Amino acid sequence: MLANKTIKSQVEALREKINYHNIKYYTFDDPEIPDSEFDKLLRELQSLEAKYPELISPDSPTQRVGAKPLKTFGEIKHRIPMLSLANAMNEVELLDFDRRVREATKVDVIEYAAEPKLDGLAVSLRYEDGVLVSGATRGDGSVGEDITQNIRTINTIPLRLIGDDIPSVLEVRGEVFMPLNGFKKLNAIALKKGDKLFANPRNAAAGSLRQLDPKVTAGRLLEMISYGIGIVEGAELPDNYSEIIDWLGSLGIKTSPERKILTGINECIDYYHQLTEKRSQLPYEIDGIVYKVNSLLQQKQLGFVSRAPKWAIAHKFPAQEVVTILHSVEFQVGRTGAITPVARLEPVEVGGVIVSNATLHNMDEINRLGIREGDTVIIRRAGDVIPQVVSVVESKRTRNNKKIVMPEKCPVCQSGLVKPETQTVVRCTGGLFCEAQRKESIKHFASRKAMNIEGLGDKIVDQLVDENLVSDPSDLYKLTIDQLSDLERMGQKSATNLVAAIEKSKSTQLHKFIYALGIREVGEATSRALMEHLGSIENLIRAGKEELESIPDVGPVVADNIIHFLQQEHNRDVIQRLIFDGVTWPEPEVQNKIVAGVTGLTFVITGTFTGLSRDEIKGRLQSLGAKVAGSISRKTDYLVAGEKAGSKLQKAKDLGVEILDEQKLLKLLGSD
């Protein structure tokens, strides 16, 4: 039986009521009806949807949980990158930040928007016409994991926005976290079941949000608080950040109840001390305060560095410190050959985390601290993350405490050790002959952000190296199903799947291949910059130091690391073997290519396009030597305008800026 208009209206009215009361309860902490009345409304809607299943819609309050478990997460590309924040670890660094902001904006006193820095996982939500359509993790800032099913289970995230001023597209950015009461309940259940306990609420939140089964996430009591926006279409934004957050709150998005507008850096420092005292009383963990320049105009003036905005900073709280015993020191070999001393400690809780190991960095640090095995030491979690030894309690030292001595040979392969004059790091000379480096280099090569060989986990790599089946990354492409199926816990089906995954990885991108090589200090951003400016692996091998240093993200040290790596014959041999074995990538466009009518000109992009995304248009223009700005001015040469171009189109007309539609742009780029 199909529903008539009366039933449809009844269902819509129920959904609107439930959505309203849900937001009042979870977002504003201001319930208007008792739980029993809310449950009654929800049961009534469930009954009608059961009777008329054709009325069920994705944004119905009954559909928060119910999707089938995923086999793996997909990816979502952020149209506007999700950047990280610079840190101020003390007042001196905070004052220096304020000085830079004032000098750059030529303003004597800056108005800041301040809010607690939640210790959780950054996410991005996309709403279309007020309905939640997707959710993604921050990932590497450019691409995140598609966690839409799990996001939908979080009650503080509305499935449908409220209010009259709803944009056609709204990207909300915020922090998903686990409140302390939820964390305690989760660990109490784990303890009762005999399962492993979560170390802290942040780990619990991250693990919960990345469950392939959304029903597991639904039981984890997660919440989200918004701290900003990404893409917005179909709405005029206010002139400052705090008003944008107020606007999000009016749409039903939860915002921080602790946020404040502060005038001048002295008020920021006062707020820091106030929140430091209040920190232990909050229902969630925070690890600092974020200050943002409130004026959007001043934010545009300040701009960005490669990975962070210049108009915001995170003022971190002092790390918590505890006393424990340093039982011994072991020397570990990293994938680049670095020998790192690691302190083995009497397990102790620091900031909610059980710590049994701490880095000692290098022998210079050991000598500076005067540490001996058996010492009583003070440790802290620097930035509430990395355990470090701060100092020694010398009054508790005994005669039996032993001095720590750097070994003369590599503890893994017995090769000699070297220490460059300008560095504090001691390195093994064994290279690929060193089993520790061999394993770690192959694990890095196969990792998701490198060659992305699905199923090639750490334990399998360990076995492949131990069984002498793999001595460098090129050997992976020679493995057979029979060889793999003989490994522990690897049957015929698993072996077949892994061989297929290795074969699939042959088709990659040049920047991922460069990153996969494991050149010291060459991360994802640097690998991408090398690809964009050099265009081929041959050009990278031939590049001299001066050419490398002219590339963004490549300084003298990184240039030396690249040259040193590629001067080694065995490294070039591995690269050639990988290419011979079929590893390929599409030829990227090189940024120094000169194109008449494009190179050196300034473009602004607005609206939506059918053939190319805005990011793709931006990338094409930049690869041809053009500049891409965010706002129209008299210096703008072209406005690239798609559908729903908005106010920028009118401003371009007012200023006499030439306007290109998608077809004219493609013709200009030679792609029509």
Question: Domains of the chain (ranges plus CATH)?
Answer: 5-63 (1.10.287.610), 86-316 (3.30.470.30), 321-394 (2.40.50.140), 431-504 (1.10.150.20), 510-580 (1.10.150.20), 602-669 (3.40.50.10190)
pLDDT tens-place string over residues 65-105:
555 556 678 889 999 988 888 889 889 999 999 999 999 99
- Amino acid 368: pLDDT: 84
Angle between helices 265-278 and 91-105 (to 10 degrees): 150
Q: What are the contacts of 28-37 at 24+ separation with CB within 8 A?
A: 28/254, 29/257
Angle, CA of 407, 410 and 416, to the nearest 5°: 95
Alpha-carbon gap, residue 235 to 230, rounded angstroms: 13
pLDDT at site 594: 43
Strand partners, 341: 331
Helix residue spans in 156-197 (DSSP H): 180-193
Active-site annotation, residues = 117
pLDDT at 1: 59
Strand arrangement, sheet containing 223-233: 131-137, 121-128, 169-177, 223-233
User: What is the CB neighbour count within 10 angstroms for residue 5?
Assistant: 7
Q: For position 431, what pLDDT does the model report?
A: 61
Euclidean distance between CA atoms 254 and 226, whole angstroms: 6
Distances (CA, A) of 485 to 302, 350, 464: 57, 43, 12
Output the six-digit token pair for 389: 């030894």
Provide the token pair at 422. Answer: 């300008």
> End-to-end alpha-carbon separation of the chain, Å?
53
- Helix/strand/coil for 93: helix
Residue 215, helix vs strand vs coil: helix
Q: What is the pLDDT of residue 593?
A: 45
CA gyration radius, the chain = 28
Is 151 within 8 Å of 205 (Cβ atoms)? no
Strand partners, 123: 137, 174
What's the Cα-to-Cα distance from 20 to each of 128, 167, 168, rounded to whole Å? 19, 18, 20
Query: Cα-flanking dihedrals φ and ψ of residue 424, to 5°?
Result: -100, -10
DSSP 8-state assignment for residue 57 = -
Look-up of token digits 């420092």: 269
Q: How many CB atoms lie within 10 A of CB 28?
A: 14
With a CB cutoff of 8 Å and minimum separation 6, the contacts of 166 are 127, 129, 130, 235, 251
Query: Helical H runs in 475-568?
Result: 481-485, 492-504, 510-516, 524-534, 537-542, 545-549, 556-567
Tokens of 386: 């990395």
Dist. CA 495–CA 624, nearest whole Å: 44
Q: Which residues of the chain have pLDDT under 70?
A: 1-2, 25-31, 35-36, 63-71, 199, 306, 319, 351-352, 381-386, 420-422, 430-433, 552-553, 588-597, 599, 619, 622-625, 670-672
CA gap 369, 359 in Å, rounded: 13
C-alpha–C-alpha distance, residues 140 and 511, integer Å: 14
What residues contact residue 273 under an 8 Å CB cut-off, 6+ apart? none
Rounding to the nearest 10 degrees, give the CA dihedral for residues 542, 547, 550, 552: 0
Angle at which helices 614-623 and 662-669 cross, to 10°: 30
Name the 3-class secondary structure at 154: coil
Structure tokens at 355: 């710590």
474 touches 577 (CB < 8 A): yes
CB atoms within 10 A of CB 128: 14
Say if CB 96 and CB 51 are below 8 A apart: no
Structure tokens at 331: 């020397």
Q: If you ran DSSP here, which 8-state letter would residue 60 be given?
A: S
Q: Which two tokens stand for residue 291?
A: 């200050």
In our burial notation (b when 16+ CB lie closer than 10 A, e otherwise), range 146-155 reads: bbbbbbbbbb
Number of other residues whose CB lies within 10 A of the CB of residue 503 = 12
Q: How far apart are CA 65 and CA 55, in angstroms?
A: 17
Q: What is the pLDDT of residue 337?
A: 87
Both tokens of 378, joined, read 């003070």
Cβ-based neighbour number of residue 349 at 10 Å: 12
- Give the pLDDT confidence score for residue 290 in this predicted structure: 97
Q: What is the pLDDT of residue 580?
A: 93
**Residue whose structure tokens are 């690897």:** 490
pTM given for the model: 0.54
